[in-house]
Amino acid sequence: MLKKVLRRTFGAYNITVERCYVKKLLLTAVAASLIISAVPLAACSKKKTEPRSNYDLSVSYNAEDGTLAGEESFTFYNSCQNELTELKFNLYGNAFREGAKYKPVSESFKTRAYYAGESYGGLTISSVENCANWSVGGEDENILTVELNSPVYPGESVQVDIDYVLTAAKINHRTGITQNAVNLGNFYPVLCAYTEGGFAECPYYTCGDPFYSTCANYTVTLDMPEGYTAASSGEVKDSQTSGGRQKVTYSLENARDFAMVLSDKFTVKTESCNGVEIKYYCVDESNAGEGLKAAKESLEYFSQTFGGYAYPTYSVVETGFCYGGMEYPALSMIAEGQKTPDAVYTTVHETAHQWWYAMVGNDQINCGWQDEGLAEYSTLLFFENNPDYGYTRAAIVDSATRAYRAFFSVYNQLNGKVDTTMNRCLKDFSGEFEYTNIAYNKPLIMFDILRKSVGDEKFTGCLRDYFNAYCFKNAPAEGLIASFTACGKDLEGIFNSFIEGKILI
């Protein structure tokens, strides 16, 4: 996600960066310009043949009442080391119900999100077939637990069928009816990532992106009123119209999520890049030219720098959204109404998430800095190598550093101490201001120091190694550190001093 809006609203926190208290200057001035060899790299083709779980989703949108009736036939492939007797699914759609423990947006973003006043939705499970029992619970009515008829052993599969109804609230958010479109992020029960501690349950924490899932294959059939256009994570396999309705079938492989955005007002512009179809959906076309160009150029740059893009399409969608933008596999939501430079910056940041979130995943609940920091630093690399956009490395690093110092100063004055550790659960952040500085600005500063330490070529080489090692997987923070230390220099100290909050910036 990009909370870029925050970058321009420090005034709301009564902060001016000029007044910030400088603890210690660690960063030296600008380094030499970066030259990265443009060698096209293959996407993680080897791992495409690995057996995966499969989502077969059939959903029907009713524009009259804003509901989505869904049938999910989920085939679980057990790639764990042990047998499982139950499956757990995150029900993110339930975060939008009245009385939810965790509000989907903080007070500061409430007005921007709830454009039509209070509005509620939810996700109701109607039935689960092919199981011994099922129940909805968790910390915030956010977990569907399905007890299996018999244990599923490693290497075996089991299918469960879930019927549900998603009611979309009127809200500019990941899931919701906006003024011009219907955002269908997290519109179905999604299997929780399985870790050593069991299934990782993800309450819809207000701060950050509370998502942690495993790559699977998708077939999605969307039934919607005729006249609507749908942006989607998937590639269109079939499309039929009858009786005032359209039915579109999509497929997507090796993806950790699937999202769609529907509208009866969309204009679509397309481009292509190395066989990938890039689509830009919008209502107001004023950012479309620059936005589509940035999507294409950044997709190409990241493919050449880190490794090939894995999906057949990439859709950038301008829609109602309370933050700057939001990433999904093969689809990015960009908040409509942004000025062109902001929409372009957001587009590049979200496109970088295709590498650092979509293809290489991580635990976004406890290590939000990992993909956000890499997305921010990749954005810097893109702009540095495409100077026509008007950004420089020095300016981006300087902006992050000043913002971070301002945060440190304010929190120090307020509390007498500042928690600057980076591996933290989303619920332990006091709000977006702290989260933005710890998960975006601080790791951006860290990656710049790492780059100065190993040199430009080795730096991008480390990121390529990281991409290759974890494509379509979830990478622990230690995996990222190992990819850098393998470059031949002991960089663990730098990582640890930042992660553990020991370094003074």
**Where on the chain is the footprint of Zn ion (CB under 5 A)?**
1-2, 372, 375
Distance CA(155)–CA(83), nearest Å, equals 9
> Measured from the CB of residue 440, what is the shortest distance to Zn ion in angstroms?
7
Structure tokens at 8: 């321009």
Contacts of 273 (CB under 8 A, 6+ apart): 296, 299, 300, 303
152 versus 326: smaller Cβ distance to Zn ion: 326
301 versus 345: smaller Cβ distance to Zn ion: 345
> Measured from the CB of residue 482, what is the shortest distance to Zn ion in angstroms?
23
> Measured from the CB of residue 334, what is the shortest distance to Zn ion in angstroms?
12
Distance CA(304)–CA(464), nearest Å, equals 10
344 versus 375: smaller Cβ distance to Zn ion: 375
52 versus 256: smaller Cβ distance to Zn ion: 256
> Measured from the CB of residue 311, what is the shortest distance to Zn ion in angstroms?
18
Q: Which of 168, 166, 164, 165 is nearest to 119 (CA)?
A: 168
Residues in the chain: 505
6 versus 310: smaller Cβ distance to Zn ion: 6
> Measured from the CB of residue 246, what is the shortest distance to Zn ion in angstroms?
32
> Measured from the CB of residue 377, what is the shortest distance to Zn ion in angstroms?
11
> Measured from the CB of residue 2, what is the shortest distance to Zn ion in angstroms?
5
2 versus 261: smaller Cβ distance to Zn ion: 2
> Measured from the CB of residue 353, what is the shortest distance to Zn ion in angstroms?
6
352 versus 397: smaller Cβ distance to Zn ion: 352
Q: What are phi and psi of 495, to 5 degrees?
A: -55, -50
Distance CA(346)–CA(327), nearest Å, equals 10
287 versus 346: smaller Cβ distance to Zn ion: 346
Distance CA(39)–CA(224), nearest Å, equals 42
6 versus 471: smaller Cβ distance to Zn ion: 6
Alpha helices in 307-431 (DSSP H): 340-352, 368-385, 393-415
DSSP string over 89-122: EE-GGGGGSTT-SS-SS-HHHHHHH-BTBS---E
Residue-wise burial string across 121-131, b where 16 or more C-beta atoms lie within 10 A, e elsewhere: bbbebeebeeb
> Measured from the CB of residue 364, what is the shortest distance to Zn ion in angstroms?
10
Q: From start to end of 256-303, where are the E strands?
A: 260-263, 267-273, 276-282
Q: What are phi and psi of 491, to 5 degrees?
A: -105, 0
The CB-side HSE value for 259 (13 A sphere, CA atoms) comes to 27
Distance CA(348)–CA(298), nearest Å, equals 6
> Measured from the CB of residue 265, what is the shortest distance to Zn ion in angstroms?
26
For residue 124, what are the β-bridge partners? 165
User: Sign of torsion, CA 448 479 297 379?
Assistant: negative
The secondary structure element, H or E, covering residue 456 is helix 456-470
CB of 379 within 8 A of CB of 352? yes
CB of 238 within 8 A of CB of 249? yes
DSSP string over 434-453: HHHIIIIIHHHHHHHHHHHH
Q: Which of 402, 468, 237, 436 is nearest to 323 (CA)?
A: 436
Block residue for tokens 């958010």: 173
Q: Which of 87, 79, 84 is nearest to 155 (CA)?
A: 79
Structure tokens at 43: 């996407």
Structure tokens at 378: 């990749």
1 versus 276: smaller Cβ distance to Zn ion: 1
276 versus 375: smaller Cβ distance to Zn ion: 375
> Measured from the CB of residue 478, what is the shortest distance to Zn ion in angstroms?
22
1 versus 222: smaller Cβ distance to Zn ion: 1
> Measured from the CB of residue 282, what is the shortest distance to Zn ion in angstroms?
20
